[in-house]
Amino acid sequence: MTMVAPVVNIVEAVLNPEGRFATLEDIYAPLGGNGEPLFSVSDGIVSIEMVHRDKRCRLLCACSEVGEQRLKEVRRVSDRLLCRPLVSLAAVSYHPRELYVFDSTGQGSHVDVVVQEIPAGERLDNYILQYTAAGETGPVRRLLPTLAAMAEELAAEGIVHNNIKPYNIIVAGDGRLTLTCGATVRLADSEGSEVDNDNIALALIAAVTFIAACRPDLYTELQRRKVFMLVGFCRIATRVRNIAATHDIAPLYQLCNSLLRRKRQLLGRGMLNSTLRALADTAPQPLAEFSVLVPAGGADSRAVGEETENKPAPLCRPEGDKWCYVLADGAPVFTGASESAFEGEFDKMYDYAEDFFGGRAVVAVGEDFGLIDLRGGPVLPTVFEEVRWYPNEQVIIAIYEGRSMLYDRMGGRIGHGEWEWLGDVEEGLIAASSDGRYGYITANGLTAIDFHFDDAYDFRGGEAIVEIDGREMRIDRHGKILGR
For the stretch 359-373, pLDDT in tens is 888 888 877 889 988
CA angle at 468 for the pair 465 and 470, rounded to the nearest 5°: 100
Q: Phi, psi (5° rounding) for residue 470?
A: 80, 0
For the stretch 168-222, pLDDT in tens is 899 998 888 999 887 788 888 755 545 567 877 888 888 889 988 888 888 877 7
* Predicted pLDDT of residue 441: 95
Q: Which of helix, strand or coil describes residue 199?
A: helix
Please state, in angstroms and rounded to a whole number, the distance separating the CA atoms of residues 194 and 138. Answer: 37
pTM: 0.64
Give the residue among 383, 413, 384 at the shortest CA–CA distance from 399: 384
* Residues counted in the chain: 484
169 CB-near residues (< 8 Å, 6+ apart) = 123, 124, 150, 177, 178, 179, 180, 205
What are the Cα distances from residue 435, in Å, to 103, 114, 159? 48, 40, 28
Contact 198, 160 (CB under 8 A): yes
163: exposed, middle or buried (Cβ count in 10 Å: 0-12, 13-18, 19+): middle
Q: Phi, psi (5° rounding) for residue 423?
A: -80, -160
Helix/strand/coil (H, E, C) string of 315-328? EECCCCCCEEEECC
* Predicted pLDDT of residue 343: 37
* Predicted pLDDT of residue 306: 40
Domains of the chain (ranges; CATH) run 7-117 (3.30.200), 122-291 (1.10.510), 295-418 (no CATH), 426-484 (no CATH)
Query: In which residue ranges of the chain is pLDDT below 70?
Result: 1-4, 190-196, 224-236, 238, 260-268, 292-322, 326-348, 483-484
Half-sphere exposure of 96 (CA within 13 A, CB side): 7
What are the Cα distances from residue 340, in Å, to 227, 307, 322, 359? 30, 21, 22, 17
Sign of CA dihedral 263, 269, 271, 276: positive
207 CB-near residues (< 8 Å, 6+ apart) = 237, 240, 252, 255, 256, 259
Please state, in angstroms and rounded to a whole number, the distance separating the CA atoms of residues 121 and 272. Answer: 27
> Facing residues of 398 across strands?
387, 405
